[in-house]
Structure 1
Amino acid sequence: MFRKLSAVIIVLILSVSCGAAKQEKPAQSGEQQPKAETIAPVHPEHQPDASESSRVTPTVLAIRKIEDSVVNIRTEKTVETNVSPFFNDPFFDDFFGLRKRSYKTQSLGSGVMIREDGTVVTNFHVVKDATTIFVITRDNANYEAEFVGGDESIDLAILKIKDQTKKFPAAALGTSSDIMLGEPIIAIGNPYGLSSSVTTGVISATARMMNIGNNYSVFIQTDALINPGNSGGPLININGEVIGINTAIHRQAQGIGFSIPMDTIKRVLPEIMKSGKLRRGHVGFTVKDTAKGEDMMPVIESVEKGSNAEEIGLKAGDEVVEVGGVPINSEEVMYHILRSYPPDSSVEIGIKRADGTFKGRLVLTERPSDFGLIHLDTKYGIAVSEKDGYLTVAKSEGTKYITVGDIVVALNGTELDNLEQLSRLIEDNQDKPFILTVYRDGRLLQIKLNP
């Protein structure tokens, strides 16, 4: 009886053990079992748990603050070209002529929202000559945008999304006036639609003079990689504030990036939004490069009576050593820096005299309507007046190639109709060489005048 009962108990224990083995298969060594999780909403303001809190650095937090404001910019441009229908055979081309063919090209870049109404800042070269502009936001929504205005000399453009039915996430704008050498920075872009492309680095120079084409401008220099696709995106500090706009002006440079300072953008933004371009302010004095020992330095030649320059005490003979905190070593550099100072803005001027170095703050004013003619006279010693329906040289003291009595017929190939047109074209070419075409003794002569 006892033996039978023991056998029954053993059978029951084995049955229970086998059933348990079928229900729970033991994990193999090194094998992790999947766990079911309740579906939960993903909140954009993700709060890290204890396991990842140490990885959420100030850099991560700064990027989270601005990434929704960074956009991709796609442009279309229509290009027309002459095409030979006869395999470029000169005989048939001369006889039948060339055919015009148009095609579209595309370019990509980045930008950043600075206002909730869809105002976007980017580089001028990203949207130059574009016929159609699209802004693509981080959620991959496409919006057509219009070109509000810009300035090629500082590589800055302002766009506005046409859709006015919604508000857009605007970035927080900081200042570039207090940036520090070695300060950590973050460059963000949206190249080729790849949102939140990030590079990091430090401030290498706070005010670096660089040449863009034929123009000098001031940039922030960093060691963060900035490629053409990231061009136009924001440079931010560790607080997530925009301190500059990245620009790929040196595509061959290794480990060097440049950004337009935020204070420059703030200074020119109202002027560009108002008139579509950057008008230059009037300083009220002229300078000329003069030998100072072995160096050439810009020295003030004349100061206008009643001007702000006279009011703050500038005098002929003063050596200009600094403008806007940037050291100056030539007339050309000085005028290029002043390009980003529109009327009613102010700039700090540093000058040197025999008795020391002094600084003053100059408020720029509206330029006179005949500024170009004044510049032609003060810079080149050439005065032009209307005589018998022609633009005639009335004075020529700066060059032997133009004489009194010459008739000015064109500037850079553009035929001239009146003094106002001549003045405007000279003002547009103030910092660049330009060519005057004059008529003399039955001949047309071209004379190049260098800045």
Structure 2
Amino acid sequence: MRLKTVLLVLLGLLIGATGAVLLRDHLSGAFAQQAELLAETEPSLPEADRRLVPGSREGVLLSYAPLVQEVSPAVVNVYSARRGQRRVAQSFFDQFFGRMQRPERTEQSLGSGVIVGGDGLIVTNNHVVENAEQILVALSDRREFSAELVFSDPQLDLALLKVDTRGTPLPTVPLGDSDQVEVGDIVVAIGNPFGVGQTVTSGIISAVARTGVGISDYQFFLQTDAAINPGNSGGALIGLDGQLVGVNTAIYSRSGGSNGIGFAIPVNMVRQFLSSAAAGRVIRPWLGADTQAVTRDIARSIGLDRPAGVIVRQVTPGSPADNAGLGQGDVVIAVNEEPVLDPNSLRYLTGSRGIDTPVEMTVLRDGERRSLTARLIEPPETPPRNETIISGRTILTGVRVANLSPRLASELGGGTPERGVIVTGIARGAPASRVNFVRTGDVIERVNGQDVTSVRQLTELAADTEQEAEVTFSRRGQVATCYFQAPSFFRCQS
């Protein structure tokens, strides 16, 4: 009986083991069949397509890695240091008697830069290295170089650095064409935010003609929602073709962090800046036309169904605009088929072209569309500036003035008229510095009812203002008149 029981148990174990094996084989086959079925239905992509960013806008974005690997070696970190002084009171007696020690302190700044020349030329923002006594550039491969500032243009907020590579070429970023950039294009921002090291962010172009944001005199920027933070200044804004489309410059933020509104200097302005650097002086192409934006009322008065372009208020005789046939009252709506939105965009569309470069202007005149071609030149210094400090015993004593010309107006920045007499400085202790009178940048228009047209004329008129004077001047488009009567009466009204 016991033997029978043992045999039955062994037989059951044998049958169970065999069933388990059969069940395992059955499941394995089922899983394998299912895996084959899934493999047949899952879409497969070529390996090249998995790692490459498509060059077309219709392509499906898979990875930025190849683009970043190609471009990031040419984006550098820029560290600068300058000496400053701070006032520190040493004791109660020092405070009482006004004796203050002025220990030196080192002010540091960080930013980014873009290598544009294999021999060591690097573009960055001027505000990153302005007044710097030491500049250090760090590459993505951790090499470090001391750099020197070789050229700058504060109006553009651009600076050019040079490092000694000792013959070893550096990686560079090719310059693209910012006029071809459109709203919605995908871009990549590379820089050194907050000094944490090289960082890559992505976004799109939010606007291509953003003006009036108060960053520089040439207010025409690419706007992007790619995350840009402090330290990104001077870094690269790259298109999907791997070319530089802009230099990151500023953000719109109340907290100091990125709010998705960043601004970059268009690469076409960078190209013009590099041409100036090669010449060793700032060169700005000149058109010679004074314009204003077409408002709704102006559009209605000239028969337009909506505001468009800029209307010409004045044309300088002998200027490229004059030689092209542009006249007062003409409405410029496009330059090289790019729409003109306001005077700033006209300045950009002409200023980003080279000297002796023809530009085609689309103009509305008497309701008809015309095409005019102007060949840009350097702004002339006519008349000579004849910078002079007014002397004598007058309300204008100690005021330094100069004759305005297209070249001086270009040097002083946007919005400066090209003719008249401008205040370029005021001596310390001068009467004008003690009262609310003229300031640097004001244009003196009349003295005692007589129009001022030159420095020489102004000095002659000022000689007759020892006892009484009426001076009219303009400041950023606002006109004011000040009355002076010896010994102490002074009043201004706008």
Q: TM-score when scaled to structure 2?
A: 0.63
Counterpart residue number, 1:17: none
Counterpart residue number, 1:115: 117
Matches within 5 A, 1:24-423: 56-58=51-53, 59-86=64-91, 91-93=96-98, 97-191=99-193, 194-213=196-215, 215-252=217-254, 254-276=259-281, 278-287=282-291, 293=297, 298-322=310-334, 325-329=338-342, 331=343, 334-335=346-347, 340=352, 343-370=355-382, 415-416=400-401
Question: Which amino acid counterpart does residue 153 of structure 1 have in structure 2?
Answer: Q
Post-superposition shift, 1:161?
A: 0.8
- Of 399, 409, 412 in structure 2, the residue corresponding to residue 428 of structure 1 is 412
Q: Is the 8 A contact 1:372 1:423 kept in 2?
A: no
Q: Please give the alpha-carbon distance, in whole angstroms, between the structure 1 residues aligned to 2:390 and 2:215.
A: 35
- Give the secondary-structure state (helix, strand or coil) at the position aligned to 2:136: strand
Question: Which amino acid counterpart does residue 67 of structure 1 have in structure 2?
Answer: S
Q: Is the 8 A contact 2:121 2:161 kept in 1?
A: yes
Question: Which amino acid counterpart does residue 66 of structure 2 have in structure 1?
Answer: L
Post-superposition shift, 1:431?
A: 2.3
Work out the percentage of aligned pairs sharing the same amino acid: 29
Q: Is the 8 A contact 1:390 1:407 kept in 2?
A: no
Question: Which amino acid counterpart does residue 285 of structure 1 have in structure 2?
Answer: A
Gap change, CA 1:248 and 1:289, over 3 Å in 2: closer
Q: Please give the alpha-carbon distance, in whole angstroms, between the structure 2 residues aligned to 1:98 and 1:421.
A: 45
Post-superposition shift, 1:447?
A: 4.3
Gap change, CA 1:212 and 1:341, over 3 Å in 2: farther
Q: Is the 8 A contact 1:124 1:155 kept in 2?
A: yes
Gap change, CA 1:245 and 1:326, over 3 Å in 2: farther
Q: TM-score when scaled to structure 1?
A: 0.69
- Give the secondary-structure state (helix, strand or coil) at the position aligned to 2:128: helix
Counterpart residue number, 2:466: 441
Post-superposition shift, 1:192?
A: 5.4
Gap change, CA 1:259 and 1:92, over 3 Å in 2: same
Question: Which amino acid counterpart does residue 265 of structure 1 have in structure 2?
Answer: V
Q: Is the 8 A contact 2:324 2:372 kept in 1?
A: yes
Q: Please give the alpha-carbon distance, in whole angstroms, between the structure 2 residues aligned to 1:117 and 1:214.
A: 29
Question: Which amino acid counterpart does residue 117 of structure 1 have in structure 2?
Answer: D
Q: Please give the alpha-carbon distance, in whole angstroms, between the structure 2 residues aligned to 1:343 and 1:176.
A: 19
Gap change, CA 1:85 and 1:305, over 3 Å in 2: same
Q: Is the 8 A contact 1:154 1:340 kept in 2?
A: no
Q: Is the 8 A contact 1:299 1:317 kept in 2?
A: yes
Post-superposition shift, 1:344?
A: 3.3
1:450 aligns with 2:481: no
Moved more, 306-315 or 84-93: 84-93
Gap change, CA 1:133 and 1:359, over 3 Å in 2: farther
Gap change, CA 1:434 and 1:419, over 3 Å in 2: closer
Moved more, 220-229 or 419-428: 419-428
1:49-75 CA-partner distances (Å, limit 9, x unpaired): x99877524121111111211110000
Q: Please give the alpha-carbon distance, in whole angstroms, between the structure 2 residues aligned to 1:196 and 1:204.
A: 23
Gap change, CA 1:55 and 1:410, over 3 Å in 2: farther
Question: Which amino acid counterpart does residue 51 of structure 2 have in structure 1?
Answer: V
Q: Is the 8 A contact 1:149 1:157 kept in 2?
A: yes
Q: Is the 8 A contact 2:191 2:231 kept in 1?
A: yes
Gap change, CA 1:193 and 1:346, over 3 Å in 2: farther
Aligned CA-pair RMSD:
3.9
Q: Please give the alpha-carbon distance, in whole angstroms, between the structure 1 residues aligned to 2:312 and 2:69.
A: 50
Counterpart residue number, 2:304: none
Post-superposition shift, 1:306?
A: 4.0
Q: Is the 8 A contact 2:390 2:398 kept in 1?
A: no
Structure with the largest fraction of strand: 1
